[in-house]
Structure 1
């Protein structure tokens, strides 16, 4: 029995011609994916250029790669599922013209059967340099006659030619391959060609970071007339994806870097460290490096670029690309320089971004909010593409680590900044510069994020933005908290100069707090003593004045009254108390400096400027209260009130400001605003108006106009324009809000205080040049 077993011959598999359909049309169910595969084959053949030519019933895919000899065709192209790229023999005997390090986009050995998906007939012309053109003619239907027929028994016609046979106007490459597919299975309409162009734009490095020179060009003569119309309609913009003909290219991402928030994360060459740089509209926020926690990514050249799309960036994208960003896609995955389909497509949530966003409103980013790219390189053993070609990558251990790295080191860090900084300021969503980040409120948020990151174990802070991560004004609500964050950062960065500045700022803050507390105590004592002395003598008369009719009149009156005699005793007392508080605060600040000088302390220029700025602000409050006391009867029982800010500003400008404006300047107010209820400090809003009027007067204006409008129920727009000297041509307008900056003989604090007040109100001010005078736009959210 044993002898008989040994004598029996081996059995062998036979391959049915039906395999062609299994790995062709049945496997590749989308024409765009089929074109992807054939373009990728051109890339792998070292082509610098692939041209797609569409005619009535045929499609030509022409590359200028290394081409194939007859031996290559027999040993490789006709060998089903064999991949010379996978076994490392693809480059034998070929000197790479582009770069020896170029990796391969595919390695499954079945991409050639994409031709079957596209059309019934294939004519392949190919040659190596200085050799004859080898020609194959394939009728894919020959493989479908009988499923019992073996694959190897179906012949493929072969011939030779001296030159490539190409359509008129198409240049023949010196070497390369031409795939002429006819008997197309589906028509290529304009809409389908545009979808192909969009898909190819995402397939071939849309972020412009490859070192390989690789170009894809589409030619469709039948669409040239409509393309010309599109170019005229878009006037040079938005044509990237709205015309069919021409090179497939993307220029949008370099543009986006300066218009929105961008995070780039990459693995060092040795794979031991992760580097991260966060920029916001062109300004570097921070750069860090940390040990990599992902050993399986060593050698993968992992790199991730993520962009947050604010409203400005989305508008730019649509204008330049001719389509909304949501239709373009979200986070794409590229392996060896080519896109893995369908990751990043609209509605494909590979990285669970939208699933997480659904867990809370306004807490998480979604795929509609971001666009980006992950790059990895490596063999199929490390990052294995699904054979079905439209299922992304198989979840190998390396893929799982890449997924975690993207989620924890890339996406969530961008999300924390965007949600914690950009989303906290509704006005910031519409601007494409960092003007909204320069106020104390945004600086406090940025400082908290950077300091927390710097305090993370193992994280090294390489650099950070000193203009945005900074010491705030002592009056800022977040001053104390920010000092603590800055101290952590300074110690981590080993920055003794910053530590010294923090100490000085802390001392100034304590002095200011003591001065304000002392001032309030003094004012309270003075008020209590006066009240007690007057109580007995005035009690009867005071009660008689508070009648029912007067109480009703008080409820109905406007914020401002036109007669000084209508001020009641209580209002005068409140105004007097407020003046005492701020005057006493000024006195305490000055006395504090006297004490410091007596003790031998010499203030620095920064210390002195800070002290004078605080005195100036307290003095402006006194002036504003004095104006109220003379003209207004506004309820000042509380420093902060809930009221209609639109009505308050209009009333103040109409009734109070003109009485105290500089001599010779006319104040005009026009309002179409209805009502915007919100919390605000009336004295600070008064200072805002007064400072703008004062600035106009110093610029020799004879007239200043305030125009109030409401673009929506939750926003107030105040346009301020004067007929003064305006801004010098050489002046950087972003500097006019800097503390101490002035173009006149003033202190340089007026517009600084205006910007500071608005920042605390979630508002904004922007300056514009006009032919005559200065123009400001103020936006306040409800």
Structure 2
């Protein structure tokens, strides 16, 4: 009997049951099991991993640093030992791998993932520096199942030396280049790998390493499945005959990759946030245009050396269509914002239904104000040790919560998603047709540019934020005639002061003076015109009722009566409106002469902008005189509220056709059910008149206007003519810019069209479907801008 005072040391005894706990019961998914093996290849410094699916075996082969006999016996066969931990010796075989990489795994349990896939695993490995020897281990996992009381270390693992790697014949080309590396062959498979299972795995692996189209450390994964080659070829042949390409997701064999994001970058809005030490950097890009680039102090101390990088893309309707066409499935099924630790995917973050970042919970609190997981897609990268970023042991439950992980989630929410949201919501969401557009056409209007300017001004209204760069195309002075001009001045001044842009501040001061002068002169003109209109109307009333007592009064009455026989009110309104526009033109001339007094030479841009203002006002005069006699509303009102589609159709039929040239046939078709909108009728007239004028200059004999309702809202107008079309060398994306022309024209017509449409909440773009002549598409939102 043992004396109670006696002491002795006890120790754990490990049974063979540990294999099942660390294998099939811990790694519960076949895809995750393969991920673990691929991670091992990555950590070994491989640049190529071959996945082979045969009828009776799976092979994972890489050209990494490989393992020596000592590595196999002292480390690989040492249960739960991880040579990736920070305390590994300097000569460890993992250190031979590429120095730039962080390790994807670190628990030392990935070796048991093969048990999930098959009953037997064969390891072949040759380290760098050895030439004629391949070390081979064979592990029969079923031997561990026979007796749960058997000691783990008592189960035999067979080892032999061989002269070279043994690989399936289909991998001979890879084998010929394989000087060092590791080959894992899994035999006696637990489940067959059908075509669909391999395709599902391929889709997951694409998201595992490379969903953004960027090569990660030169790491490529290739699939070879001989049984599926015939079906791959059949698909390629059938799609080729139909004139279509095969989506990568539909083919089993070949390199795994997903390059959809390189396509999306030019078609949607995305934000990129990086942390470098004490600084946090943000770049927001909208359809290829850098909107802003800022820097600010980094508030996340745990992320200062973690290589934090986040890219989030806003998927408007156009981007979702592009995504589905290129990838072959809706973006929501692909996933949302993925998290990558040490360049490898952390599951299940970003999967459909997962809300690790909290996007969906927040979306429910403000559906019309917040971006949710279904509207964004992206990637967050972070690197670091297990102390900061450690995966849950089951490998499919994300990261264990640590102070660094809490800051990671906050950084993604506050500095990535919310920053993107503060641009998308006020700039794009208020203009629904912008969501159907994959270019900047709707933002190049004055209202669009004003929205962008306001969004950036709100962002930089913070003393800690340094504005490094911003879009000069979108954030600049808008036209003084725009209803958004005054509010835009405030935003621009904020940005100019932030960047200490003295040139911009001087331009703003000058623009403000011009605007004030125009407002004063217009107010004076309007007062005089109103007085004249009232006097004429009073005289007209007297002429109708009073008897002619003196000859001069008779002459005045006769004069007025001659107008009344046409339409007195219409003529007087015509005079009223033309008076206002004429005074505006005079004020533009006076402003230009004042600003350029004493100048020997004047920049072309300065002259062009002044002439553009006068040309636009002159077009207004021309439009007024053209249809004033037939209009059923008073032109002394700047805006009317009526059915826009019907108005445009009536204007084409009753004004444009009757005042046009006999050489140009003008046709219109209106199937729109009606869209009530408050707008300036002169703007609508300018749009039609300019398009007709352009068709005439292009020697067209016919121009068609087709007004329809598309997408159950808004007005779409397809315009086409059979003229000469765009001149060779014309940049189609620039034809709506002020002064751009490849002919002897002014380059103002289409610019005026876009500006007038912008005031109505509309846009214009080229119609690529029209091959002969010129085709244009006009889109006007159902709910007009508030006026």
Deviation, 1:446, is 1.1
Q: TM-score, normalised by structure 2?
A: 0.90
Residue 208 of structure 2 is aligned to residue 203 of structure 1: yes
Where 1:474 maps in the other structure, the secondary structure is: coil
Structure 1 Cα separation of the partners of residues 52 and 95 of structure 2:
26
| Distance in 2 of aligned mates of 1:208 and 1:653 | 49
- How far apart are residue 504 of structure 1 and its match? 1.2
Give the Cα separation in 1 of the matches to 2:135 and 2:591.
94
Change (3 A) 1:523 1:256: same
Tell whether the 8 Å contact from 1:437 to 1:443 is kept in structure 2 after alignment.
Answer: yes
* Map of 2:49 onto structure 1: 50
Query: Per the alignment, in what secondary structure is the counterpart of residue 414 of structure 1?
Result: helix
Q: 1:135 corresponds to which residue?
A: 136
Question: Which residue is 1:193 aligned to?
Answer: 198
User: Within the alignment, does 1:419 sit opposite 2:420 as a pair?
Assistant: no
1:352 deviates by: 0.9
Deviation at 1:514, TM superposition (A): 1.1
C-alpha displacement at 1:433, in angstroms?
2.4
Aligned partners of 2:532 and 2:456: how far apart in 1? 46
Q: SS where residue 385 of structure 2 aligns?
A: coil
- 1:249-283 Cα distance to aligned partner (Å, 9 max, x none): 22222222222222211122xx1111121112222
Deviation of 1:520 (Å): 1.2
> Following TM superposition, by how much is the alpha carbon of 1:713 offset from its aligned partner in structure 2, in angstroms?
4.1
Contact 2:298–2:304 (8 Å) recurs in 1:
no
Distance 1:238 1:403, change over 3 A: farther
SS in 1 for 2:735: helix
User: RMSD of aligned C-alpha atoms?
Assistant: 2.9
1:473 corresponds to 2:479: yes
Q: Which residue of 2 aligns with 1:29?
A: 28
C-alpha deviation, 1:383, in angstroms: 0.9
Shift of 1:188: 1.4
| Residue 777 of structure 1: aligned partner | 777
Q: Which residue does the alignment assign to 1:454?
A: 460
Please give the secondary structure, in 2, of the residue aligned with 1:266.
strand
The offset of 1:198, in angstroms, is 0.7
Confirm or deny: 8 A CA contact 1:231 1:239 kept in the other structure: no
Paired residue secondary structure (1:711): coil
Aligned counterpart, 2:335: 329
**Does the 8 Å contact 1:331/1:374 carry over to 2?**
yes
Query: SS of the residue aligned with 2:186?
Result: strand
Equivalence for 1:306 = 312
- Provide the rounded CA distance (Å) in 1 between the counterparts of 2:438 and 2:385: 41
Preserved contact between residue 522 and residue 584 of structure 1 (Cα < 8 Å): no
Native 8 Å contact 1:260 1:309 kept in 2 = yes
Contact (CA 8 Å) 1:237, 1:321: kept in 2 or not? Answer: no
1:628-654 per-residue CA deviation (whole Å, 9 max, x = no partner) reads: 333343454733222222221121111
Q: Please give the alpha-carbon distance, in whole angstroms, between the structure 1 residues aligned to 2:742 and 2:162.
A: 79
What are the superposed Cα offsets for residues 139-190 of structure 1, whole Å, 9 maximum, x if unpaired?
2222223333322232223333333332223233333222222222222121
**Distance in 2, Cα, partners of 1:106 & 1:768:** 52
CA separation of 1:18 and 1:628: change in aligned 2, threshold 3 A: same
Give the C-alpha shift of residue 668 in structure 1: 2.6
Report the 3-state secondary structure (helix = DSSP H, G, I; strand = E; otherwise coil) of the residue aligned with 2:442.
helix
What SS is found at the alignment partner of 2:523?
A: helix
Q: What aligned pairs does 1:542-557 form with structure 2 within 5 A after superposition? A: none
Query: Deviation per CA, 1:63-86, whole angstroms, max 9, x where unpaired?
Result: 222222332222111211111111
Task: Give the aligned length.
Answer: 757
- Of stretches 746-755 and 54-63 in structure 1, the one that deviates more from structure 2 is 746-755
Pairwise CA distance, 1:663: 6.2
Deviation at 1:497, TM superposition (A): 0.9
Provide the residue aligned with 2:404 in structure 1. 398
- Partner deviation per Cα, 1:81-108 (whole Å, 9 max, x = no partner): 1111115437626596663232211010
Q: Counterparts of 2:612 and 2:71 in 1: how far apart (Å)?
A: 81
Question: Is the 2:340–2:382 Cα contact (8 Å) retained in structure 1?
Answer: yes
Aligned-partner Cα distance in 2 for 1:281–1:613: 28
Structure 1 residue 522, shift from structure 2 partner? 0.8
What is the alpha-carbon distance in structure 2 between the residues aligned to residue 97 and residue 11 of structure 1?
39
Whole-Å Cα distance in 2 between the matches of residues 704 and 87 of structure 1?
A: 74
- Deviations for 1:572-601, whole angstroms, at most 9, x for unmatched residues? 544443344334444555566678899999
| 2:672 paired with 1:667 | no
Could you tell me how far apart the structure 1 residues matched to 2:286 and 2:754 are?
Answer: 21
Aligned: 1:155 with 2:160: no
Counterpart mapping for 1:632-781 below 5 A: 632-634=631-633, 636=635, 638-662=637-661, 664-743=663-742, 746-767=745-766, 772-781=772-781
Q: 1:93 to 1:254 in 2, by over 3 A?
A: same
Choose from 266, 270, 277 the match for 2:274: 266
Q: How does 1:437-516 map to 2 (within 5 A)?
A: 437-516=443-522
Does residue 67 in structure 1 map to residue 66 in structure 2? yes
Tell me the alpha carbon deviations over residues 586-622 of structure 1, each in whole angstroms, 9 at most, x when there is no partner: 4555566678899999987656544443333333323
SS at match of 1:368: helix
Name the structure 1 match of 2:167.
166
Mapped to 2, the partners of 1:234 and 1:673 lie a distance apart of 38
Q: How far apart, CA to CA, are the structure 1 residues paired with 2:358 and 2:198?
A: 31
1:699 Cα deviation from its structure 2 partner: 3.3
Deviation larger for 529-538 or 362-371? 529-538
The 1-side partners of 2:33 and 2:272 are apart by 32
Q: 5 Å matches for 1:80-229?
A: 80-89=79-88, 92=91, 94=93, 99-128=98-127, 129-130=130-131, 132-171=133-172, 172=175, 173-210=178-215, 212-229=217-234
Cα drift, residue 336 of structure 1: 1.1
With the length of structure 1 as denominator, give the TM-score of the two structures. 0.90
The 1:613–1:136 alpha-carbon spacing in structure 2 relative to 1, beyond 3 Å, is closer
The one-character-per-residue Cα deviations of 1:696-754 (angstroms, maximum 9, x if unpaired) are 33334444332333334423232333344432111223333222344555544322221
State the secondary structure of the residue aligned to 1:433: coil
- Would the alpha carbon gap of residues 490 and 121 (structure 1) be closer, same or farther in structure 2, given more than 3 Å must change? same
Compare 622-631 and 255-264 and name the one that shifted more.
622-631
CA displacement 1:106-130 (0-9 Å, x = unmatched): 0101111111111222222233332
